[in-house]
Copies of this chain bind each other. A is one copy, B any other.
Amino acid sequence: MKLGIIGLGLIGGTIAKSLNSKHIVSAYDISKDTLTYALENKIIHQAYDNISNFLKDNDVIYLCLYPEMIIDFFKSNKSIIKNDTLFIEISGIKTNLIEKLEKLEKLEIKNFDIVFTHPIAGRELVGVKNSDKNIFFNGNYAIIENKKNKQNNIDLTYKLAKEMGFKNISIISAQLHDELLAYTSQLTHIISLSLVNSYKENVNLSHFTGDSYRDLTRIANINIDLWMDLFVNNKDFLLSKITDFQNHIEQFKSAISCNDKVKLAELMNQAKNLHNKFLEESRNES
């Protein structure tokens, strides 16, 4: 099968590395250096700097662009997309993106399919040079329910996700995806950034940290353009999750402030039990 990748960054590069032994993989990217590097390192079989030729030659295309760029991509290129092309989209937010694309669709009849998916995996690094098959191995993948998709395209997307090494592949609604990811992904990044920003002493911090601080701040080395896009385009769910989290922080603060050990023990027990349930679920899956 001829697979194309648009946008050969960390995730696009990881898709290429995960599938290039079973399929002919080509890529389109605006950076010539990226394409040269990917060819030289045998990450892809073929490189394109012309989008028309790329779209003509590929039947299944992973769309590895930030959400807002995806809209621009279809605005610019919808007239040159050939019939029956399957796009597999991979960004971290869905409801807003699908809504915006549906508005676009009304403008013109199209004869291609977009399956919205999310490899729930990443690194605090960018670019094809940091791509790595292990990022996907045994990971989670979400495919968004969408009645417009052809069943064989859903099936192919699922099969390719298995080939990339994903362990748990869930088919869920765009809404539920965005609500869950607002919690597991966008909120965690807001927390990490806020933790880093609240440091104010003038002391070499690295002498007074253990694993907990290092773990909680790893993701503060953030890809600003990507996360700006995700935060803004999942605003409603994210604001609601931030509020829930603030309420729980406030419960701890109030219990500590009142020396209320009973309440503190209750809150810690609740977290310990929920976390053990999560670990148990994770273990049962692997």
Residues of A whose CB lies within 8 Å of any CB of B are 120-123, 139-140, 142, 168, 170, 176-177, 179-181, 183-185, 187-201, 203-213, 215-222, 224, 227-228, 231-232, 235, 238-239, 241-253, 256-257, 259, 261, 264-265, 267-272, 274-276, 278-279, 281-282, 285
**C-alpha gap A188/B95 in the complex (Å):** 32
Copies in the complex: 2
Rounded to whole Å, the gap between the CB of A239 and the closest CB of chain B is: 6
A239 touches B222 (CB 8 A): no
Q: Are A191 and B139 touching (Cβ within 8 A)?
A: no
- Minimal beta-carbon separation of A1 from chain B (angstroms): 27
Please give, as numbers and ranges, the residues of chain B lying within 8 Å of A219 by CB-CB distance.
Answer: 212, 215
Query: Complex Cα distance A245/B195, Å?
Result: 6
Instruction: Report how far A245 CA is from B176 CA in the complex, Å.
Output: 29
A244 CA / B231 CA spacing, docked (Å): 22
Q: Is the CB of B210 within 8 A of A278?
A: no
Given the complex of chains A and B, what is the CA–CA distance between A278 and B220 in angstroms? 11
Q: Are A206 and B278 in contact (CB under 8 A)?
A: yes
Please give the distance in Å from A157's CB to the nearest CB on chain B.
17
The 5 tightest CB contacts between A and B, nearest first, are: A194-B248, A193-B271, A220-B275, A206-B282, A206-B281
Task: List, in ascending order, chain B residues with CB within 8 A of A196's CB.
Answer: 271, 274-275, 278
A24 CB to closest chain B CB (Å) equals 29
Once A267-B197, A282-B206 are accepted as A-B contacts, the answer to whether A189 and B168 lie under 8 Å apart by CB is no
Contact flag A216-B216 (CB < 8 Å), given A235-B256, A267-B193: yes
Check B140–A194 contact: CB distance below 8 A.
no
Among A199, A231, A242, A261: residue with most chain B CB under 10 A: A199
Contacts of A120 in B (CB 8 A): 208-210
Give, as a whole number of angstroms, the nearest-CB distance from A232 to chain B.
6
A224: B residues at CB distance < 8 A: 265, 268-269, 272
Once the chains bind, are A259 and B235 in contact (CB under 8 Å)?
yes
Assembled-state Cα–Cα distance A261/B229 (Å): 9
Q: List 14 A-B contacts (CB under 8 A).
A: A140-B208, A168-B206, A184-B209, A185-B213, A191-B191, A193-B252, A197-B267, A221-B275, A228-B268, A235-B256, A238-B256, A242-B252, A242-B253, A246-B253
